[in-house]
Amino acid sequence: MSQPTQYTEDHVRSLDWKEHIRMRPGMYIGKLGDGTAADDGIYILIKEVIDNSIDEYVMGYGKTIDIQLVNGEIIVRDYGRGIPLGKVVDCVSKINTGAKYDSKAFKKSVGLNGVGTKAVNALSNYFKVEAYREGKFKLAEFEKGNLVNDAKITKTAEENGTLMVFRPDKSIFKNYKFKIEHIEAQLWNYAYLNAGLKIRFNNKTFSSRNGLLDLLTKKTEEETLRYPIIHLKGEDIEIAISHGNHYGEQYYSYVNGQFTTQGGTHLVAFRESLVKTIRDLYGKNFDPKDVRASIIGAISVRIEEPVFESQTKTKLGSMNTGPGGPTLRTFVNDFISSKLDNYLRENKAAYDALLKRIQQSERERKEIAGIKKLANERAKKANIHNKKLRDCRVHFQDKKGDEEQKNNTTIFITEGDSASGSITKARDVATQAVFSLRGKPLNCYSMTKKVVYQNEELNLLQHALNIEDGIEYLRYNRVVIATDADVDGMHIRLLLLTFFLQFFPDLVRGGHLYILETPLFRVRDKNKTFYCYSESEKKDAINKLKGKPEITRFKGLGEISPNEFGDFIGEDIKLDPVILSDNTNIDTLLKYYMGKNTPDRQLFIIENLKVEIDEIDAPEEEAMVTEIQSVE
C-alpha cells in the first residue's frame, strides 16, 4: 500500500483572479464547447459583454449597440454612459468590482456579481476596452488577463459609451468556431426583450416594436395557431400565449432581459397560473397536461437583485420581486389570473378555440391511455432483458448525480450490432451511452403519438431518453444520431430526425440533438495517418504523404476499429447540431421532405444532383452518397 501524499503549507496555493478563472472556467461560463451548441462558452463570453450594454439601455442610455464578428474576434460598441475613466482597468480585471452593487446605478440589471467581463478578459487571448465620457477617452489592453497597455486618458470626439474587443483563447476553447445562427438567436432575444433597442450586427439590424408578440410571431406561422397570439403587458411583466398543433410545450422565459433557457421560478409560476386560471374560467378540473399541450408561450419579468442558480444565469431561483415585495410566484399568478381571465372573457373566438384545443388533447390522451400502459410495461421488461441500451455510469451511481457530469452525458443512437459494438467498446463509460436500433425506424410523418407506443423500437427509445412526458427529465444532455455514411445510413438519419421533430420538437429546440461526423477515409503510410471527412481532405492528405499511401473508404461505422473510434467520440468529437431557425415551420418542413413525392421536391433533387462526372474518382455508390449529403 502506497504512503499517502504529505499535506503541508507548500501544498496550499492562492490563485489570483485570472488564474482561478482560467483553471476553473466552468464555474464562470458553464461548459467550454467548440461553438456547435448555443450554450457553449464562446457565446457566454459574447453575452457577458452585451449584457453590460443592455443594462445601459434599460437605464435609459444608448439606443443602439454595434457588434461585429471579424476573423474570430468580437467587437461590441454601445452608446451608454461609458465606464468611469478612472475605473476602466478595475472594472474588467478585479473580481467583485463594478457598479452593479449600487442599485441606484443599475436597478434591474442582468449582471450582478461583478464577474462577467473579468471572465471574458481572463479567457481571451486578446481583450481591449475603450471608454468614452464627456470628450475624454481611456484605453486598456490585456492578453490572457494580463494588462499589457494601460494608456493615459486623452481627449476624443467620440460619443459617450464603451467599446470592448475580445478574441477567445484557443488554448481553452479548442477548435472553436462561431456559428452565426447562434449569435443571431442571442441578438433577437435581446431585441424582443428591449422594444425600441436597435442592434446592428455585421450589417444586419435586429429590433422589435412589440416585444414578446414579435417573438412568438417569428417562432410560428399564423395558420398553425388555434387562435391569434394573446399579448399582455403590465409593470415589470409581459406574457404572450397561443396554442398550435405541435406536440409538447414550447416556452421562452426571461428575467431582466436574460434568456433563462432552463426556466426557474417565473416559468414554474407561469405554467401553474395558466392551468389555475383556465380551470377557474371554464369551471372544469382539466388535467394540466391537456391545458398545456401544444402551447407556445413566453414570459418576461423584471425584478430587483434576481438570484440565479449559476453565473451563466440560465435558471432563476426562488425569490421575491424585490425588497418588501410579494413572492415572484404570487406576482406572476396575480397578473395572469386577472389579465388572461379578462382577455378570454372579452374575446369569444379565442375562448372557444382554446376550449376546443383542450378538449382535443383530452380525447387524444384518453385514446392512448390503454396502449400507453401496456407499452410502459413492455419497456420495463425490455430494459431488463435486452441489450438495446448500454447506459453510462452517471445514471447508476447517484440519482441526483454530479450536475457537471450530467451536463456532459451523451447517448449515441445507432443501427446494427457492428456499429453499436464499435461505439460501445470505444466510449467513455462514465458519461456516454449507446442505444442500438434494430433495422430502419418507422417513418412516422403525419402520424399521431399513438404510434410511438405501438412501435416497440420508438417506444423503447423514448423510454431510454426519458422523454415520454416531455424533456424536463431528459437523461442525456446530448442525443447523437450516429449512422453509416451510405444511402441506408442517411435514410435512417432522416427517419430519426422525423421522429424527434414530429413528437419531441422541444428536444431539438433545446439544442440537444446532434449528428455525429465520422471520417469517410483513412489515408496513411508507415509514418503518418490522416482521417478525412471529405474528398477534398482526402486529396490534401494524399499530397502530404510521400509515395503511394494506403486509402481506406469507411462505408460503415462497424468498419472503424474501437481504438480508432475512440479518437472520433472523445475530446475532439465532431458534432453537427440540428438547429431550427426562427422561421422554420416543422409541419411545412416534414411535409416537404417526408410527405408524398411532390413536384417541388422532385425539382429540388434534380437541381441538386448536378455533379460533373470527371470530378468523381470514387465508385458509383460513393457518388450517390455525396449527392445525398449535398441535398441534405
Same domain, 89 and 199: yes
Tell me whether residue 468 is in a domain.
yes
Does 396 score more than 70 pLDDT?
no
Which residues share a beta bridge with 204?
A: 201
On whether residue 177 sits in a domain, the answer given is yes
Residue at 604 is within a domain: no
The last residue of a domain, from among 183, 206, 229: 206
Q: Do 51 and 154 have their domain in common?
A: yes
**pLDDT value at 263 more than 90:** no
Whether 224 is in a domain gets the answer yes
What is the maximum span of the chain, computed from C-alpha positions, in angstroms?
82
Establish if 513 belongs to a structural domain.
Answer: yes
- Per residue in 403-429, pLDDT tens? 556 678 999 999 888 888 889 999 999
CATH number at residue 475: 3.40.50.670
Q: Which of 344, 364, 384 is the last residue of a domain?
A: 364
Per-residue pLDDT tens digits for 590-624? 877 787 766 777 777 777 665 433 334 444 334 33
Instruction: Give the residue numbers spanning the domain of 100.
Output: 17-206
Contact 408, 476 (CB under 8 A): no
Amino acid at 108: K
How many Cβ atoms from other residues are within 10 Å of residue 226's Cβ? 17
CA-to-CA dists, residue 179 to 186, 243, 351, angstroms:
11, 31, 42
| pLDDT, tens digit (0-9, with 9 covering 90-100), for 437-483 | 988 899 988 888 889 999 989 999 999 999 988 888 899 999 999 99
d(CA 323, CA 122): 34
Q: How confident is the model at residue 402 (pLDDT cuts 50, 70, 90)?
A: low
136-143 and 154-155 strand pairing:
antiparallel
pTM of the model: 0.78
| pLDDT tens sequence across 148-175 | 999 999 999 999 999 999 999 999 998 8
In this structure, what DSSP letter does residue 87 have?
G
Same domain? For 446 and 581 the reply is: yes
Q: pLDDT value at position 281?
A: 96
Query: What pLDDT, in 10s, does the model give residues 344-360?
Result: 999 999 999 999 999 99
Q: pLDDT tens digits for 480-507?
A: 999 988 888 888 999 999 999 999 988 9
Is 34 inside a domain boundary? yes
Residue with more model confidence, 113 or 40: 40
Q: Do 496 and 543 share a domain, yes or no? A: no
Is residue 284 within 8 A of residue 341, CB to CB? The reply is: no
CA distance 42 to 63: 25
Give yes or no: residues 385 and 442 share one domain: yes
Residue 311: pLDDT band (50, 70, 90) is: low
CATH of the domain at 32: 3.30.565.10
Torsion-angle region of residue 437: left (phi > 0), alpha (psi -120 to 50) or beta?
beta
3-state SS class at 220 = coil
Identify whether residues 149 and 217 lie together within a single domain.
no
Task: Give residue 609's pLDDT.
Answer: 62
Any idea what DSSP says for residue 319?
A: -
Q: Same domain for 294 and 228?
A: yes
pLDDT tens digits for 85-139? 999 999 898 876 554 434 444 455 555 445 789 999 999 999 999 999 999 999 9
Same domain membership, residue 149 and residue 170: yes
In a domain, 298, yes or no: yes
Clarify whether residues 280 and 426 are in a common domain: no
Residues 309 and 236 in one domain: yes
C-alpha distances in angstroms, 485 versus 425, 569, 606?
20, 16, 21
Question: Could you tell me if 278 and 321 lie in one domain?
Answer: yes
Same domain assignment for residues 331 and 441: no
Q: What is the chain's mean pLDDT, rounded?
A: 84
CATH of the domain at 334: 3.30.230.10
Dig out the grid coordinates for 399 from the structure.
440519482
560 is a domain residue: no
Alpha-carbon span 112 to 129, nearest angstrom: 20
> Strand 146-150 vs strand 154-155: parallel, antiparallel, or unpaired?
unpaired
Q: Which pLDDT tens digit goes with each residue over 521-539?
A: 999 998 899 999 888 999 9
Burial of 135 (0-12, 13-18, 19+ CB in 10 A): exposed
How many separate domains does the chain show?
A: 4
- Torsion (CA) 143, 149, 153, 157 in degrees, nearest 10: -60
C-alpha 413/C-alpha 464 separation (Å) is: 10
Last residue of a domain, one of 171, 191, 206: 206
Angle at 315 between CA 314 and CA 319, to 5 degrees: 140
